[in-house]
Amino acid sequence: MVHVRTKVERASPESVAALSRHSVATIHEAQGRLGALSSRIKPVDRAMSFCGTAFTVKCAPRDNIMLQVAIHYAKAGDVIVVSAGEYEEAGSFGDVLANACLAKGIAAVVTDTGVRDTADLIKLGLPVFSLSVCVKGTVKETLGQINADIVVGDELIRPGDVVRGDADGVVVIRREDAAAVAVKSQQREEAEAGYIAAYKAGNTVIEVSNLAGVLAAKGLTTDE
């Protein structure tokens, strides 16, 4: 027997909104270069972007029955995160299920297997991040867990964690750390804005990054 877990402790909407204002790269750096999913998981379209709370599902390879169960139980604002064994040769999600997600207000789908109907997915606008694009169909046979801890893209993802995706990839933020990471991300954005302003004012990269001493200590010399 497989029990569907529907009650999940999610990160606060305020934390999700705050993190949504920052890029995946900024968040990854701000939280100590943690949380980035494998670069193999890419958006169907680079314009796709999302931020929401993880609703996790474990599927058997080439089987999407539990993905459909997850769509049924997920809440508006959730990101459905699918662990399916890093199986590239299956199109387990397409335009029909994307319409089901949009009707429920689901924020995005992230999966370590394949998707299909990508032209339609792009038109629909639902952010979809996947390991592959594959036309091959799936079966509906094997039950799996809903809202258990899973590993996707070499990262542990727990139900209710914040998941952020953009053109560069996907990052996960622990729900209990979300507010603090949002603050650190804002601080990083402000620091980088200062660097850019300094460049525009005529300062060099070595000056702005205080690299002169480091480079000299490592033995770098020039003919200036």
b/e for 141-165, b at 16 or more Cβ within 10 A? eeebbbbeebebbebebbbbbbbbb
- pLDDT tens-digit series, residues 46-93: 999 999 999 999 999 999 999 999 999 999 999 999 999 999 999 999
In the structure, what pLDDT confidence band is assigned to residue 193 with cuts at 50, 70 and 90? very high
**Contact at 8 Å (CB) between 52 and 175?**
no
CATH number of 13-182: 3.50.30.40
Least confident of 1-5, 30-34, 131-135: 1-5
Structural contact between residues 100 and 129, judged by C-beta atoms closer than 8 angstroms = no
Phi, psi of 136 (to 5 degrees): -65, 135
- Per DSSP (E only), the strands in the chain are 42-43, 50-58, 78-83, 108-115, 128-133, 150-152, 155-157, 162-166, 169-173
Comparing 47 with 2, the larger pLDDT belongs to: 47
3-class secondary-structure state, position 76: coil
Question: Which whole-number Å values give the CA distances from 179 to 158, 170, 184, in the listed order?
Answer: 17, 18, 9
Over residues 172-182, the pLDDT tens digits come to 999 999 999 99
The whole-number pLDDT of residue 203 equals 97
pLDDT at 1 over 90: no
Q: What is the mean pLDDT of the chain?
A: 97
pLDDT greater than 90 at residue 163: yes
